[in-house]
Amino acid sequence: MKKILVAAVLFVATLANAQDMDLVKGGDLSFLKGQKDINVVFDYSKLTLMKEKKSEATYIQERAEDLNKKSRGNGDNWKKKWEGAKDGIWQPKFIELVNTVMTKEGKDLAFQEGTASAQYTLIVEVTWIFPGWDASVMKQPAKVSMNLKFVETSNKSKVLAEITSEEAPGDQWGSQFSNESRIGEGFAKTGKSLSKFLIKKALK
pLDDT (average), residues 74-84: 96
pLDDT at 10 over 70: no
202 CB-near residues (< 8 Å, 6+ apart): 29, 30, 32, 33
Q: In this predicted model, what pLDDT tens digit does every residue of 39-53 receive, in sequence order?
A: 999 999 999 999 999
Residue 134's pLDDT is 76
Q: In this predicted model, what pLDDT tens digit does every residue of 144-186 receive, in sequence order?
A: 999 999 999 999 999 999 999 999 999 765 555 688 999 999 9
Between CA 67 and CA 150 the distance in angstroms is 39
**Range 118-148 burial, b when 16+ CB lie within 10 A, else e:** bebbbbbbbbbbbbbebeeeebebbbbbbbb
Residue 54's pLDDT is 98
Q: Mean pLDDT check: name the lowest of 5-14, 45-54, 90-99.
A: 5-14
pTM of the model: 0.87
Between CA 70 and CA 185 the distance in angstroms is 27
What phi, psi does 93 have (nearest 5°)?
Answer: -65, -45
pLDDT at 117 over 90: yes
Report the chain's terminal Cα–Cα distance, integer Å. Answer: 43
Coil, strand, or helix at residue 121?
A: strand
Residue 2's pLDDT is 43
Between CA 9 and CA 29 the distance in angstroms is 37
> Hey, CA dihedral for 105, 107, 108, 114, is it positive or negative?
negative
Phi-psi region of 138 (alpha: psi -120 to 50; beta: other; left: phi over 0): beta
Residue 174's pLDDT is 52
Residue 27's pLDDT is 77
Instruction: Give the confidence band of 126 by pLDDT, cuts at 50, 70, 90.
Output: very high
pLDDT at 73 over 80: yes
